[in-house]
Amino acid sequence: MRLVCLALAVFVAGCATPPQGPVGNTGTIVGEASAPRNRARIHTELATLYYARGNMSVALEELRAAVAADSSYATAHGMFGLVYMELRENALALQSFERALGHAPGDPDINHNYGWFLCQISREREAPPYFRRALDNPLYATPARTLAAAGICAMRAGDLAAAEDNLQRALRIDPKLPVALLQFAQLRYRQGRFDEARRALVQHAAVAQASAESLWLAVRIERRLGARAAEQSYAIQLRRRFPESPEFQALQSGRYE
């Protein structure tokens, strides 16, 4: 079977990207199964499947088997980084990503994921070179996702001009990319351009299910525009669908900004 590229959210959907590749059938493996690199590849692909299913302990077991077979297999180390990032083991994730880049400095997926990891640990200003390295690869399959991630990181760093540039480039490539639409709406809200924020959020709602983040943004946009009925409608949805979310807690306490 084939492993599709999975978009997972650590905050904002779709920014960590597991590697792509064929997953070997454990009954019949085509090729030299005894070759160390081939064994490492198979174990890494199995680890990716377990990661996608949320089974981090088995994913780690498969990755340990992968690096035991071939300690220089960069994809395994990059996958270790994703698993440790999901487990909030930041020191181990950092070590794994750096080891992966040591073996494959030009790998676009590893560069993307390392850049995104840096954003998650409040080192946003260090991330752009890794995003650029991913984007410089002409064969890279998901440039819009990387541009969206770069836009999010720039916004977190307070560089709204860079955030706008990256998000607009992402949307030129993929006008229906949910994460880019939502973050573009967030950007326009921060810039005080509330009508444009509303339009971007309407576009997001057409291609993605509502989240606590999108509903909370909708509440605040409509509040700014003075549309009280719409504001109340979104607030009711937020309360009904995400009563345990930080966004609903902010609504309850009146912390709109």
Query: Does some domain include residue 227?
Result: yes
Q: What is the number of structural domains in the chain?
A: 3
Token representation of residue 122? 């409040």
Residues 52 and 150 grouped into a single domain: no
Tokens of 200: 């971007």
Residue 15 belongs to some domain of the structure? yes
Distance of CA 193 to the CA centre of its chain: 26
Give me the domain span that covers residue 243. Answer: 210-257
- Same domain, yes or no, for 201 and 228? no
CATH number where 149 lies:
1.25.40.10
Q: Does residue 6 sit in the same domain as residue 40?
A: yes
In this predicted structure, what is the pLDDT of residue 257? 86
Same domain membership, residue 157 and residue 234: no
Separation between Cα atoms, residue 117 and residue 100, nearest integer Å: 13
Residue 65 in any domain: the answer is yes
Residue whose entry in the numeric block shows the structure tokens 């499947």: 49
Same domain, 4 and 95: yes
With beta carbons less than 8 A apart as the criterion, state whether 28 and 16 touch. no
Three-point CA angle 105, 13, 137, nearest 5°: 25
pLDDT at 43: 97
The pLDDT, as a whole number, for residue 54 is 95
Low-confidence ranges of the chain (pLDDT < 70): 1-34
pLDDT digits (tens, 9 = 90+) for 91-100: 999 999 999 9
135 and 227 inside one domain: no
Is residue 111 included in any domain, yes or no?
no
